């Protein structure tokens, strides 16, 4: 009995005919038949082909294709190896020393992976046979100088690295100064006001640090680490600003209600009380947000948008001059203290996003009384009421101001939450000379005495690590280091008299000391130098 007439054959043929006719057309599989003429198959062969081989998947044609090999991306090895982080790190998060090490490692890895292959693994040329006979006329004489080995060749190198890699490792790289990442001392500051428009930390030339809390002012002496209470306040009033006089142990203190007093830190006694405003007084606009000294002149910035000036040598408690240039609260104030030609310049930053430069040499006193109008623009002053020398703009409130101690007339200003920028202005030419986007709120600035670097303290940020302290190298604006430790915005900063340490106070109610700057290099005169005129004296 044949397969066709058997029970299995009949059932197989019946199931095949029923399944093919009732199945959808899209599920039918077609078998590619060669175009070359072949012998027609027999009926039995055709039946077996339709039943058995029809269900086999057609094999792909490997002869016309090849596997996909991706190209190496020289621009990013992390992308080539799928090692990129999901949250890309911006330039503000990075640490300079770690960035330099990572860049060097990436350059070496790229050179080794994409560089020229070593001669130890060279392959025969495809145009020559492996055991082919070389004609003596075409071959090069082995004794010729060109055939001799080169002592600097790869075969004689002791290092397994490529020449390009060794060149990268021997290249000069910029020196990154090592900065201590942890504070040298941390003190508790309970009841420190969480207010951006306050300036409550300042360091005196004698080494006494003044810190203002909500209702008390304390003095911390660096020599013996002792703390003494200077003054206190009662009622609903609170302290908002303080500043040391540069030539004596006098400290000025301003309050929320507009009271301005001067204390002697050596005796812890009140010396003078000054009048911040002439009647009628609006209590909501009398807050003294900032104070700054130059010689015997004290200047204050208030919520009423004015800058007032007192000469403590005069017996009058009234300001001898009032400067009007802002339309909102004056949140930052800084006299130029470089003792150069710009020593009489005062910088003021306001909540109206403006930086005003005032020339103190243009003032002329008279005996008239103050009648200061509001921010409408009309000014009647005891002086001529001169306009600001220059006006610069940000896109947010300016509190951080710092004059360079290395370049005369160079001012740095920092913008708030909506600005994120530190801008540098040449007050001689009135031009913007440099700027950098820090990615976060700039709360305060201080310029180093020992190095040409500037320190910025930061607060809120949605782009970078918030509440950090950044050290920038000027004029390249390369970040030297970033310090982290505060858990809230760093509102206040002060520089020690020797220029080695900074003190920062934050809304997390802590005061931290950071030893970040090297000692100042003193200039020693050579005894044999022609510029040493002392050797000519007998």
Task: Determine, yes or no, domain membership for 478.
Answer: yes
- pLDDT by residue (tens digit) across 147-157? 456 766 667 77
Q: Which DSSP helix (H) or strand (E) runs through 77? A: helix 77-80
Q: For residue 349, give the CATH number of its domain.
A: 2.130.10.10
Task: Determine, yes or no, domain membership for 97.
Answer: no
Check: CB of residue 305 under 8 Å from CB of residue 286: no
Task: Determine, yes or no, domain membership for 6.
Answer: no
- pLDDT by residue (tens digit) across 244-274? 999 999 999 999 999 999 999 999 999 999 9
Q: Which long-range contacts (CB under 8 A, 24 or more apart) does 78-81 make?
A: none
Task: Name the least confident of 58-67, 102-111, 173-182, 467-476.
Answer: 58-67
User: How many Å apart are CA 168 and CA 114, to the nearest integer?
Assistant: 14
Task: Name the least confident of 345-354, 462-471, 472-481, 507-516.
Answer: 462-471
C-alpha pair distances (Å), 417 with each of 94, 140, 308, 443: 21, 75, 27, 9
* Of 459 and 122, more confident: 459
Task: Determine, yes or no, domain membership for 209.
Answer: yes
Task: Determine, yes or no, domain membership for 466.
Answer: yes
Check: CB of residue 440 under 8 Å from CB of residue 471: no
User: How many Å apart are CA 24 and CA 145, to the nearest integer?
Assistant: 80
Task: Determine, yes or no, domain membership for 17.
Answer: no
**CA–centroid distance for 211 within its chain:** 27
User: How many Å apart are CA 346 and CA 354, to the nearest integer?
Assistant: 14
Task: Determine, yes or no, domain membership for 439.
Answer: yes
Task: Determine, yes or no, domain membership for 87.
Answer: no
User: How many Å apart are CA 385 and CA 376, to the nearest integer?
Assistant: 14
Torsion region of 437: left, alpha or beta (phi above 0 gives left; psi -120 to 50 gives alpha): beta
User: How many Å apart are CA 459 and CA 79, to the nearest integer?
Assistant: 33
Check: CB of residue 342 under 8 Å from CB of residue 348: no
Task: Report the percent of the chain where pLDDT is more than 90.
Answer: 50
Range of the domain at 332: 185-515
User: How many Å apart are CA 212 and CA 254, to the nearest integer?
Assistant: 10
* Of 55 and 498, more confident: 498
**Overall number of domains in the chain:** 1
- pLDDT by residue (tens digit) across 120-166? 444 445 555 555 555 555 555 555 554 456 766 667 777 888 888 88
Around Cβ 69, how many Cβ atoms within 10 Å?
A: 6
With 0.85 as the threshold, say if the pTM is over it: no
């Amino acid at each position: 009995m044949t397969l066709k007439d058997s029970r299995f054959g009949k059932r197989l043929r019946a199931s095949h005919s029923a399944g093919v006719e009732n199945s959808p057309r899209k599920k039918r599989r077609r078998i590619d038949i060669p175009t070359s003429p072949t012998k027609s198959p027999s009926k039995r062969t055709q039946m077996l082909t339709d039943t058995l081989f029809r269900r086999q998947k057609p094999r792909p044609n490997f002869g016309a294709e090849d596997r996909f090999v991706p190209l190496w991306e020289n621009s990013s090895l992390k992308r080539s190896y799928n090692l990129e982080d999901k949250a890309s790190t911006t330039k503000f998060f990075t640490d300079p020393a770690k960035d330099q090490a990572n860049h060097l490692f990436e350059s070496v890895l790229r050179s080794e992976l994409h560089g020229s292959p070593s001669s130890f693994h060279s392959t025969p040329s495809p145009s020559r046979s492996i055991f082919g006979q070389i004609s003596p006329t075409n071959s090069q004489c082995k004794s010729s100088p060109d055939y001799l080995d080169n002592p600097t060749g790869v075969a004689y190198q002791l290092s397994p690295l490529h020449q390009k890699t060794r060149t990268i490792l021997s290249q000069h790289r910029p020196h990154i100064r090592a900065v201590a990442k942890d504070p040298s001392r941390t003190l508790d500051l309970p009841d420190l006001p969480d207010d951006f428009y306050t300036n409550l930390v300042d360091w005196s030339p004698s080494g006494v640090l003044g810190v203002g809390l909500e209702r008390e002012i304390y003095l911390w002496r660096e020599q013996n680490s002792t703390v003494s209470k200077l003054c206190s306040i009662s009622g609903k009033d609170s302290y908002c600003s303080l500043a040391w006089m540069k030539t004596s142990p006098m400290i000025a203190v301003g309050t929320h209600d507009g009271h301005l007093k001067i204390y002697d830190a050596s005796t812890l006694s009140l010396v003078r009380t000054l009048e911040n405003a002439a009647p009628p007084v609006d209590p909501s606009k009398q807050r003294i947000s900032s104070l700054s000294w130059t010689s015997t002149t004290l200047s204050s910035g208030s919520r009423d948008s004015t800058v007032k000036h007192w000469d403590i040598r005069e017996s009058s408690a009234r300001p001898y001059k009032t400067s009007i240039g802002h339309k909102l609260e004056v949140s930052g104030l800084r006299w130029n203290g470089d003792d150069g030609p710009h020593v009489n310049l005062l910088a003021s930053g306001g909540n109206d996003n403006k930086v005003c430069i005032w020339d103190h040499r243009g003032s002329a006193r008279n005996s008239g009384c103050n009648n200061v109008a509001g921010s409408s623009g009309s000014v009647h002053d005891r002086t001529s009421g001169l306009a600001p020398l220059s006006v610069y703009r940000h896109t947010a409130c300016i509190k951080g101001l710092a004059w360079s101690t290395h370049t005369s007339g160079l001012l740095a200003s920092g913008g708030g939450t909506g600005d994120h920028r530190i801008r540098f202005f040449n007050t001689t030419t009135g031009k913007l000379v440099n700027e950098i986007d820090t990615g976060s709120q700039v709360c305060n600035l201080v310029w180093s005495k020992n190095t040409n670097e500037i320190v910025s303290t930061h607060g809120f940020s949605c782009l970078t690590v918030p509440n950090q302290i950044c050290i920038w190298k000027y004029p390249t604006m390369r970040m030297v280091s970033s310090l982290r430790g505060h858990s809230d915005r760093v509102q206040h900063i002060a520089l020690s008299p020797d220029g080695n340490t900074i003190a920062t106070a934050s809304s997390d109610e802590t005061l931290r000391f950071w030893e970040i700057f090297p000692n100042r290099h003193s200039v020693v005169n050579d005894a044999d130098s022609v510029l040493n005129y002392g050797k000519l004296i007998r």
